[in-house]
Structure formats: C-alpha cells, structure tokens
Amino acid sequence: MNPLISPSNEKFGIEPYSLITIDHYREAFEHGMKTQNENIQAIVEDTAAPNFHNTIEAFDKSGDELQRTSLIFSALSESNSTEEIRKFETDIYPKLASHSDDLYLNAQLFQRIKTVYDHISTLETSDTAALHRLLNREQLSTVKKIYREFERAGAALSEEQQKRLRELNLKLSELELQFSQNLLHETNNTYVFIEDKENLTGLSDANIAAAEQMAKEQGKAGQYAFNMQRPSCYPVLQTCSNRSVRQKVYEAYYGRGNQQNEWNNTKIAEEIIALRIEKSKLFGYDASADMILKERMAKNPEAVYHLLDAVWKPALGKLQEELAAIQHAMEADGIKDEPMGWDIMYYLNKIKASKYQVDEQQLSQYFEINQVLKGIFYVAERLYGLTFKEITDEVPAYEPSAKAWQVADKNGETLAIFYTDYFPRDGKGAGAWMTEFRRQTYDAEGKRRIPIIVNVCNMTKPSAGGQPALQSIDNVQTMFHEFGHALHFMLHDVHYNAVYDVETDFVELPSQINEHWALDPAVLKVYAKHCQTGETIPDSLVSKLDAANQFGQGFATVEYLAASYVDMDLHTLKAVPQAFDIMKFESERLLSRGMPQQVYPRYRVTNFSHSLGGGYSAGYYCYLWSEVLDADAFEAYRETGNVFNTEVAARFRRFCLAPGGIDDGMTMYKNFRGKGPQIDALLRNRGLSR
C-alpha cells in the first residue's frame, strides 16, 4: 500500500512520513499526473456548456492527488535531502514541468475556461446583479485567476511559440534545481578548520564545543570546524576576536557557489537570466520583471525602484556612521586597516555591548528555545484566542527532533496541525522557512480540511555537554517571523486552490508584523526566563535592549537593499550583454549606487536562491514592500494604546489572513486599515527617519 495514494489511518489523516520511500514518491507522482490528465480529459469531453462547476471548479480540483504528493515531497526534500532524493529530483521535476505545460497549453481546455471567463466578464459590465447571483466573490476571483494562469502559461501563444516555451520551461526547471542543489552542497560541505582553540577567543563554550564535535565528525579530532550553516558560522563573525579567522569564514560563506569546483553557480545563474529574458519576450514583455510584477502589488519595476531608492539614501547615511564607529573601535584595538566585511558584525556587536551594555551572549541566557516558543504561542492566544497542545507522540514524525502541536481555534475546534523543526542537520537547507504537508480547503461535503503547517529553521541546538538551546536575538525574531507565516496559513479559509496564495509582495506582511511582538516588554516578561535561575529578564536589560534595537540598522538595511537591487537589475535586463560576467555586473551596479566596497549584499548572485532558485525572482524587494505594510499595520494596534487589541486582531484576521488571495493585496490591506500604507513607520522603526 502506497501511503501517498491510500487514505491514511493515522490521527488527523496525517501520512506516515517515515515510511515513505523513493519508490512510493515515483509511483504517487505518476499516479497523480495520470489522474489529473484523466480529470482534464473528462472536462474537455463534457458535452454540457462550460460553466463554473463543470469547468473552473473541476479544473481547480483536478490535481488534488498530485498536490498531496508534491507538498509532502517538497517539504521533506528541503529539510531532509539525501543523495537519493536529489537524484530523484533531477528526474521528477522536468516531468512535472512538462506535465504542467501539457495542462496549460491544452487548447480545448483553455477554450472552455475562456468561454466561462468571457461570459462573466460580459455580465460584470452589463448585469452585475446576475453575476452575483451566479457566483460569489471567491468564485469570481477563482475564474479570473485561473484564466490569467493560462494566459501567463502561454495558452494564447502560437503553436511555434508554445513549442519554444516548453523548451524554456524544461531547461529553467533543470537549471534552477541544479542551482539549489549546488548551493545546498556548498552550505553543508564547505568547512573552515581551526587548529588552535586560542584562535576562537570570544566564542561561547557551546559554540566551541559544537565546532569541536563537527571537526571530529569530519575526521579531524582535536580541531574545530565551521560549516556555512548560520548557527555554525555566524557566531564566528559576530563574536570571534581573531580577525583572520573571521575573514576565512566570511569569504567561505559569501563565496558559496563561486568557487572553482563542480558546484560553481556562475554560469548557471547567467543562463537562467538569459532564458528568463527570452521567456518574457515570448509574451511580449521587454524584461522578465515586467512580466513577473504585473501580477504583484507593485505592478511594475518603477514602483519597486521608487521604494528601494526612498530607503537607500538614509540607510547609506546610517551605514557610514556605523563604519566610522567601527573604524574608531578598530583603532582602539590597534588595527589601522579600514573596516572590511568580516569586521562589521563583530564590531557592531562590540560597540553595542559597550554603548548599550547589551551582551548577546548574556541575552541568549534568557532565550532558551522552548521558552521562546511559549512566547510565540502566548501572542497567538492573546490576539486570536488560539491554544496549542503538544501531540508529538500521537502523530507520525518525519524527523526525531521535530515536535507536533494541535492548534485549536477560540471555539475549541481544531484549526491546524503545526510541526516545529528548529535544528540544523545534514541535508537541511540553509535559513528558515514555512512549508506545508497539507493545505487548508473544504471537502466535497463542505467540511473544512485542516492544514498541516511546518516551521523549518536552523536555530542553535543544545550542545553535547548539556548546554540548552540558547538563541540570539536574531534567532528569536526569526522564530516569530516564521510563525507569522504559519499563522497566515493556519487561519486561511478558502475553498479553491486558485485563490489560496497571495501576491509575493503581500506574503511577508503576516510574518513581519508578528516580529513586532517578539521584543515587546509585556511578551518578554512571559517567555524570557534565565536558563539556569528561571529569573524573568530584568527591566533594566529590557530597557537596554529597546535602546539598542535600532543600532546596526544601517548595515542590515543596506545589505538587504543591495540584494534587492541586484535581483531587480538582473530581471530588468532586456538582453544579456556579450561576454556577460554576472559577478562583475553585481559589483558595478552596486558601486554605481554608492555601495561601500567592503560590504557585500546579503546574498551574492551565486548563493542567491531567492532570486535564482525560483520563487522570489524579481521579488526579493517584497520584504521591504511588506515591511511598509507591517510597520503601518502595527500602528493600528499602537493607536489604540493596546498592542493586544483583539478588535484590531480580528480585523487583521478577517481581511488579511483568512481570505488567502481572494482579493488583491492592496484591497485586503485597505479593508483592514481603512487607508493605504505610509512609509513613515518603517523609517522610524529602523532609525532612518528623515
């Protein structure tokens, strides 16, 4: 029995993840594609006139079995990748790309969808009352989105253009996968080895113990190893006093994908950009960003650049102040060189500790990971009335260190199942993200199907010597951020796949607004407990933390904006120049904007998976776009004098979290706020007010 095809007998219908094999995936993918093709054929052969139910809804549900397999495989391959899985990815993803093309380039299917779309478009202009009797708002949006999906997939192109589109889609699928697999290998298998413990002064005992264990696992007992997972390499950049060690780690981290080895991503990135340009031209666009942004809140590249430019100048000014302070601190240490990239995090932390008496290692004693999770759950309970019951031992596990939670709504009904997978391991991608094993929807009987949501992170794990999993401020905020994504999809209330997702530049609003509660003094009192004494974080430390919160924002903002500019600059190219050197292109574009030479963008092109691995192509700006929204949205709470105002939270849930993509992002935001967003709160929060 294939657990991806057969109904699950496990609690909540959760699949037995640990029993799934590559053969199960292969069979389930083939079964899912075959079933969807049969469903599509039934739609095409239906002799009844096309309508919402026999065409639009039927298409929307046609791939449910394939979706079941795809979601689980994607979630597990990102967090538990193996050589066997990576080999299977190279086989199955091109097949899935071809299958998608077969669906969206099916002329008979498109004609039926177009007939429904044209009919409702006519009603919308001539007989609005009849339209609303025929379809509700969600159904109307589903028709429009499915029609646009077909248009954007090439259904209206000529036969010759469609043939080339298939070739481009297949090649892009292969290249983006290769880019991501190369980066995964470079992140997990690039090591910096240090022989002498004295060269690690400043690192915590827990970090040193972890490095010693990593070296032992790599066959170099007695040495200290750091790979390019952030919990391993970032403490070196932030706290190690040895400048040469910081330089080795810095160059290894930012050099991922740009080494002279078989995992080099340079030529792959250049080819991806060239193919994306060619694809956009098939659809009549000059550049790929023009095509991509048409379906986002920004609508066009000019709007994106306008936002980036509005923040760039004040951020650069703040960064220059920070670099001057770093220069002064380096001179006090007897270093006469100008600050380099490997100096910035270290000296920002050092200055912060001196100026604000905020010591990151001291602070981490109050942020044990399970306590942080209590704070996260506390905020969700106060705002939305949700409760969380651990059920790790009652449901299937996919990873021994992951935990499972049953989430109940304020009426007591089960809202979702939530998995937390917080610790780094071999085969896990870098960074942090939210994913799904199952999406929220409604079954044929009208019963809500609960989603299964997962937060996957790379937090500091407990040490082999018994040290608890103590987190940095950055890690704490990341946990709140990813849980904001989880909340968004737990609270979804939609009936159709077509309206499940929101625009890319709206999707970070729910995650980023949740960060506002992470360091709120009232919330800190609930979860920030000393790992040894149990003492609540003292008011004096909270005050210092609040005062220091904006320090370093010049660097943080500039490195983020730099990556956003590079992403946009690549995707606004109308043609790839002759003898294109993508790394030189990155450097020259940033230098032309006044970027200090010693500062790299947050991701360099060869390790910029957001942009070149797919998903956030011409979209890395969305974090800033969403920050304008989240900063302005949090003002709605502040204006009431109560950051736990349940009436505001109820509006946010109703208009921004529950509807999925039924409405466009700006409509949802204005429904919540009563007006459009302003940039002032963002600049104030980052200490960049003009």
Structure tokens of 285?
């666009």
φ, ψ at 425 (rounded to 5°): -165, 165
HSE-CB of 515 using CA atoms within 13 angstroms = 20
Antiparallel, parallel or unpaired: β 448-449 and 452-456: unpaired
Phi, psi of 194 (to 5 degrees): -120, 130
82 three-class SS? coil
Find the radius of gyration of the CA atoms of the chain.
25
**SS percent in the chain: helix, strand, coil, step 5:** 60, 5, 35
Q: Is 189 helix (H, G, I), strand (E, B) or coil?
A: helix
Give the C-alpha distances (Å, rounded to integers) separating 307 from 295, 310, 446, 595.
Answer: 18, 5, 43, 17
- Taking alpha carbons only, the member of 368, 685, 431, 366 closest to residue 556 is 685
Select which of 78, 186, 482, 627 is catalytic: 482
Residue type, 255: G
Written as six digits, the tokens of 630 are 């989240």
The burial class, CB within 10 Å (0-12 / 13-18 / 19+), for 665 is: buried
Q: CA–CA separation, 5 vs 235, rounded Å?
A: 44
List of residues 6+ apart from 526 with CB closer than 8 A: 374, 375, 378
List CB contacts of 564: < 8 A, sequence separation 6 or more: 304, 308, 620, 621, 623, 624
User: 26 burial class (0-12, 13-18, 19+ CB within 10 angstroms)?
Assistant: middle
Residue type, 76: L
Which tokens belong to 163?
């043939």
- Report phi then psi at 81, rounded to 5: -70, 140
Q: Return contacts of 591-599, CB within 8 angstroms, 24+ apart.
A: 593/312, 593/565, 594/316, 595/316, 595/558, 595/562, 596/319, 596/320, 596/323, 598/338, 598/339, 598/340, 598/341, 598/344, 599/319, 599/341, 599/344, 599/555, 599/558, 599/559, 599/562
**Neighbouring residues of 275: CB distance < 8 A, sequence distance ≥ 6:** 168, 171, 172, 175
Structure tokens belonging to residue 356: 């604000």
- The token duo for 98 is 């071809």
What's the sign of the alpha-carbon dihedral 608, 585, 596, 186? positive
- In 3D space, the residue among 527, 528, 369 whose CA is nearest the CA of residue 458 turns out to be 369
Distance CA 315, CA 320 (A): 9
**Whether the Cβ atoms of residue 72 and residue 144 lie closer than 8 Å to each other:** no
Catalytic, 399? Answer no
19: enclosing H helix or E strand? none
Q: Six-digit token pair at 117?
A: 């779309």
Instruction: Report H helices in 192-229.
Output: 205-217
Q: Any idea which residues carry the catalytic annotation?
A: 482
